[in-house]
Amino acid sequence: MKESRADASAALRDILKDHFLVGAALNDNQIAGKDPGAVAIVRRHFNTITPENILKWEEVHPKPDRFDFCAPDQFVGLGAWQGLFVVGHTLVWHNQNPRWLFEGARGDPELLFSRMREHIHTVVGRYRGRVRGWDVVNEAFEDDGTWRKTPWYTTLGEEFVARAFEFAREADPDAELYYNDYNLWKPAKRAAVVRLVTSLHARGIRVDGIGEQGHWLLEEPTLHQIEATIVDLAKTGAKVMITELDIDPLPRPEELVGADVGKHIELTPELDPHAEGVPEDVQRKMAQRYADVFSLFVKHRAVSRVTLWGVTDADSWLNHWPVPGRTNHPLLWDRLGQPKPAFHAVVEALTRTASAGA
Ligand code: G3I
């Protein structure tokens, strides 16, 4: 993307400095320095960054005896250069793993635990003191609160979560450690996560934060459901983070609410209504929705970070999921790197809140 013109708008991180960290996920091009326009937005508006893909197991540990730290080193270097709070995403997940990880390990807990331990000690240890927080375990539950039957769970049982957090703490005692998931606004899923984190805390196992990813729609979840989520997660004593915020204005079948990347649907014109641009009424709904959720976030001291899942609309994974090939518009900057009405609505809402509270 070409360098966007100097962005004269107020800086989000300044407006939010008394509330929480604000940032975005960076893609491979941005980390490699090939997207100066997006990096200019990061430098002006954000104080935290998360890697979208380059620290996932298949990228950083593609073979049993090979680690690839080129892109992660660039990412951590970018964070250090800009004095940003660098987040590591993600250590233990059921997606984007190399084939070898579970080969020969299903039914062999000790082998799989040793692979997990080596991965976490090597990756977290390399960035000790530089990556300040880690998504240690990602998406361990189904929406109904049952354990997701991943190879991690079927081979190791519930204990895989505790061991992952213990390995991460051994590798970097000073890093914040997070459990990260989507749809925690669904009561059964949220209750399962609260039970898990409470039980880990009772065993003296540190879980410093819980991430609700925030892959939301224009009207779902409701503000009441989001607030109930923040309040319930905060009761565990962990920090609450909105770790992958985007608001999808496009039509979505109910069964695909959330972020289960294993599901896809075929592209049809009806599912891609804004390929030529976003109509005024949708811009207004997006602006109101973003202003409402950010106003809710600043209301709760427990919220310690909000990370957008991408910098501009052109970067969003929602151009490829759940309908590959759509033109989506879920973020605060448009495809040309210009702030959208939703960005200005957030600034106005937060400025209004600040002056009301002054
Ligand atoms: O790296 C390959 C490339 O070599 C190949 O040419 C290309 C085309 O097939 O695919 C590339 O891999 C893609 C990868 O992103 C890196 O760009 C995968 O196909 C694609 O499925 C993958 O999508 C990522 C998705 O996780 C799937 O796991 C998205 O970028 C990423 O935004 C998304 O992020 C997840 C969080 O990590 C966890 N929470 C849910 C969130 C949304 O799914």
**Cα(262) to centroid(ligand 1), Å:** 11
Residue 59 CA, closest ligand 1 atom number: 1
Rounded to an integer, the average pLDDT of 246-255 is 87
Q: What is the pLDDT of residue 6?
A: 46
**Cα(53) to centroid(ligand 1), Å:** 7
Q: Prior bond to 322 cis, omega within 30?
A: yes
**Cα(4) to centroid(ligand 1), Å:** 26
Q: What is the pLDDT of residue 49?
A: 98
The helix-helix angle for 109-126 and 159-171 (nearest 10°) equals 30
Residue 317 CA, closest ligand 1 atom number: 32
- The CATH architecture that domain 12-357 belongs to is Alpha-Beta Barrel (3.20)
Residues having CB closer than 6 A to ligand 1 are 52-53, 95-96, 138, 213, 244, 259, 261, 317
> What pTM was estimated for this model as a whole?
0.96
Distance (Å, rounded) from C-alpha 19 to C-alpha 290?
16
Q: What is the pLDDT of residue 8?
A: 56
- pLDDT digits over 165-187, tens only? 999 999 999 999 999 999 999 99
Per-residue confidence band for 5, with pLDDT thresholds at 50, 70 and 90: very low
- pLDDT digits over 86-109, tens only? 999 999 999 999 999 999 999 899
Q: What is the 3-state secondary structure (H, E, C) of 288-333?
A: HHHHHHHHHHHHCCCEEEEEECCCEHHHCHHHCCCCCCCCCCCCCE
Pocket test of ligand 1: the residue of 178, 317, 318, 323 to mutate, having most ligand atoms within 8 Å of its CB, is 317
Q: What is the pLDDT of residue 244?
A: 98
Per-residue confidence band for 142, with pLDDT thresholds at 50, 70 and 90: very high
Pocket test of ligand 1: the residue of 29, 35, 50, 53 to mutate, having most ligand atoms within 8 Å of its CB, is 53
**Cα(118) to centroid(ligand 1), Å:** 24
Q: What is the pLDDT of residue 170?
A: 98
Per-residue confidence band for 199, with pLDDT thresholds at 50, 70 and 90: very high
Strand ranges (E), the chain: 21-26, 48-51, 85-92, 133-138, 176-181, 209-212, 215-217, 239-248, 303-308
Tell me 339's DSSP state.
B
- pLDDT digits over 262-301, tens only? 778 888 888 899 999 999 999 999 999 999 999 999 999 9
Q: Whose CA is nearest to atom 23 of ligand 1?
A: 317
Round the CA-based radius of gyration of the chain to a whole number and report it.
20
Q: Whose CA is nearest to atom 11 of ligand 1?
A: 53
Going by C-beta distance under 8 Å and a sequence separation of 6 or more, which residues neighbour residue 78?
26, 31, 39, 49, 84
- pLDDT digits over 7-42, tens only? 556 899 999 999 999 999 999 999 999 999 999 999
Residues recognised as catalytic: 139, 244
Residue 25 CA, closest ligand 1 atom number: 32
**Cα(54) to centroid(ligand 1), Å:** 10
- pLDDT digits over 220-239, tens only? 999 999 999 999 999 999 99
Residue 261 CA, closest ligand 1 atom number: 43
**Cα(201) to centroid(ligand 1), Å:** 32
Pocket test of ligand 1: the residue of 29, 52, 97, 138 to mutate, having most ligand atoms within 8 Å of its CB, is 52
Q: What is the pLDDT of residue 252?
A: 83
Q: Whose CA is nearest to atom 34 of ligand 1?
A: 52
**Cα(74) to centroid(ligand 1), Å:** 19
Residue 213 CA, closest ligand 1 atom number: 39
Q: Whose CA is nearest to atom 25 of ligand 1?
A: 261
Per-residue confidence band for 257, with pLDDT thresholds at 50, 70 and 90: confident
Q: pLDDT over 90 for what percent of the chain?
A: 87
Q: Which residue, 234, 222, 209, 248, is CA-closest to 342?
A: 248
